[in-house]
Copies of this chain bind each other. A is one copy, B any other.
Amino acid sequence: MRLLDVARLARVSTMTVSRALRHPEQVAVSTLRAVQVAIAQLGYLPDSAASALATGRSRIVAAIVPTLMNSVYASTVHGLASVLRRAGYELMLGDSGYHAPTEAALVRSFLGRRVDALVLTGVEHDNATRELLARREVPVVEIWDLTTKPIDTVVGFSNVAAGREVGRYFQAHGRSRWAFVGTSPERESRSGKRLLGLREAARQAGLDAPLTAFVTDGMSPAAGHAAVLDLLRLQPVPDALFCANDALATAALRAAADRGLSVPRHIAVLGFGDFDVAAHTSPALSTVRIPGRVIGERAAKALLARLEGSGAGDRRIDVGFEIVVRESA
């Protein structure tokens, strides 16, 4: 079932069919109609591999997120996919498992697929990744963090600033013994940057550096529960806990209860991400809300501008964040 079949049935050339599909305004109305009838009759679907080969554009965008296993990046992927699809692009998705070599392997595979653009999560990348990217001219958007030196364009928020704001919030509410659960900043992770911000706020407030509990095997509630339990064994017991995501925070709520601590009276718990369960735990979780979907949409629009339009546009888009105050802090 190819262009030629349609062309024969409609008694025109393949070019006319191609035009009827791509630039209908350039085709006489009667011809257009005949072609459309033929297409419907045959159930013809254009072969985008052939189209990609002929035009040099695949109309595929690839995105790499750290994990598909929880909902953190789900709304971002959704935002990306829906804006792109409306513009006729498909999304190819990969998860790096927070693992740089895997990211590089994915980038390589996607470049081989001749994707028209790439979305990468975070601003820290392998040398392998950077080299791969440097050799070709693929638009790249980095998301979920901010930097002054993006590969190309970055859409996100400052993880450091988020941590700092959380610290200021704790301070404003009279908390003085802060703690943090998440991943360590050595990994240059986004979670680690939040701790950096918290530490900075502690220093500015003249408080001791926050206690820390690092989880290594993913930021799941299971890992968080044990880590928080350990943290709460320390003396003096912290009176404010910042969790690098809401899954961790949910587990922290439970861990506090297990230790006989009342939230927020004995200890304030503040999450990150505003997962959909956050509003419905008891106590309801105070958290940092990130406009994940907006990140996806803005990233998609930035790409489309590069792909279809002029090529200009902001190189650095800060979507911000917001502390959502509920009951736990």
Contacts and interface: CB of A to CB of B under 8 A. Distances in A.
A59 to B, nearest CB: 9
Interface in A182-228: 220-222, 224-225
B81 A70 contact: no
Interface in A84-133: 85, 90-95, 108-114, 131-132
Contacts of A12: none
B282 A47 contact: no
Contacts of A45: 108, 111-112
A113 to B, nearest CB: 5
- For this chain, the copies found in one complex come to 2
Interface residues of A, number: 56
Interface centre among A78, A91, A93, A135 (most CB of B within 10 A): A93
Contact of A280 (B67, B91, B93, B251): B251
Interface in A268-289: 276-277, 279-282, 284
A286 to B, nearest CB: 15
Nearest to A252: B280
B49 A276 contact: no
Contact of A93 (B53, B71, B81): B81
A169 to B, nearest CB: 23
A312 interface: no
